[in-house]
Structure 1
């Protein structure tokens, strides 16, 4: 007789794990109607059995021994929400070896070892889904795999880290310094005690590696994502950007031109009328441009107990539906396109530059000559007194230029005595994502 219930082993009962239990317990009727099978939590792995918890659990569910889940023949699906690389990687590979399907919210693991995990899943005929690893409750990964399956994605651009978006939003709206807003974000629980992964762009880089691998069907390694964080962004940068009609956001960018790709994360100036400019606080949003469909935008909460848990349970529902149909392990398509990375001379963008210079006649002429020699022209220029009028501050937005040309110019600037400091340099994205 066919099994009428799917048993789940849950690795971790922290914020997201608690949300998963809440949804499964509270939505039993809906889940049964959607899948045709019952979904039952069979075992939960925790570090401390006696820790007080915000939900009621059956004591028989709780264990500190991972093998009770990974080797139990009654468990069909492992849901991993413990995070980190080890032991999560070992647990997932062991689960797959035992023929169990896997749902994970682990962006770090999938960004670094996703290819190995998916290969093992293919060998064992198992499902591996990881929608919750990027942008919390926004169903962006499923959209890339299924919704764009008949299209060709040329560009993805988005805000994929809520902590940095909260900080930049507060700096923009209140004219506050980075350090004071970071401290406030930590006090509110939006930023970790050690915020490095968020504020230096590492978290967003992991998510962009996952998005670009799925969107471009080519395996993009984390080391191939050019990442820069927001710790050097100042309220002055934001104010000058605003004066020129721009908003500063930490943007992930993945672009493909003529089968060559670039993937980066960096503070970026975007026009204030662009839809991403109004994505504030801890919210995430991803713009996707397909050759056939044109521009689409996915927006929603990027983290939190229930948004992330919703994505996890959504993946779980897909596993159960596949099980009912007998098609587990057949829906995954491993990256199959050859990866060709752009060289710096093919990475094209506008740029925002902020320079501190000697307040002397002819300085601007010297600067524009250096730019012209590198084939860079200017779209906007502002000049302001600086340091009590002893120096000047020059703010420029270039027309589209190659990254290699910009790097050459900045190198030349550093050798020029009349240029005291290159204060800031940010990418500028246009009004559309064509």
Structure 2
């Protein structure tokens, strides 16, 4: 993205140099570029409705009711319109090959599990809470012999006007101010970088193409054991200062995370603006929900601060967050393990975690490492992004809105060297 023709030593030297003009170009001020923006996260807002006395079966019922028509249509398209659809209570000895649509659940480990047998036979990753269709017929002992399985997938993409020039969204997660003593310099470099206070005019002009910054959770606390109880009030004030510096030059969206001072149940509500009196002055500073969904420059972004991917790993053998994100596209659901093992608000008559808008980018924050890949969903390319914890890696991710290429920018400090790396996709 920036200074690609230079070596890492040259980049560091230029990036840390005093701002100056190019010999062949007159002095000029780099203007921050703007792109269109629309929030799609209203469905995650509880709007004061905090009735937690409901039973969770109503949420599962709403999930099945909304996704059943989609899964049935996908199953008919996959296995033929002449294949019979049946409910469990309609099965008998005379029922031939048919389709059943329902919700997957894993049984206790000491009990026989037909899901485990299926997964071992067809090498599928079956996740509890996923709505799917299975093709097969009733066997002996009340078992249903499964031949194939079908998921909802993603809805049809809606065409938006995509930016024609290189414009970037920077994704960051895991600032973890309570444990960032060793990464304070990296954090300061990141802020100076985003605000255009580093490098010469060419560098500043390139940074001006960053149109929005999204902070994907865990900005204050972390999962690590802390020897001393952190002063949360002091840390919130430090985060307010950081947001103020960024929001003064660029729009910034702040998502809550698992260890932030927000509600623990999903979806997490936006952190209140009164926590950030300095940053709240700027209209460019926006506190958003987790999950977060929006359209930036014609590209649909959907992401979470990492709880859904973490819980999927606990309930399966999936270790790679990109594999988990790819499965979310297949399942058509952001958090299938909610509310069983991922604590969720007990919705009634609605299910906000169903993916009802086809995304261009799906991201997960607070991961162990950076990763990106492209998943083809019926000809539509979806970019999957694993955002590493900044406190550990000193890394953020720049997503090019024009072509959806991802580039990690690493502010790791080794002596006096600031390194910047590129993903293989970004170099193509």
Q: TM (normalized to structure 1)? A: 0.23
Q: TM (normalized to structure 2)? A: 0.23
Give the number of the structure with larger relative contact order, counting CA–CA contacts within 8 Å between residues 6 or more apart. Answer: 2
Higher normalized strand content (fraction of residues): 1
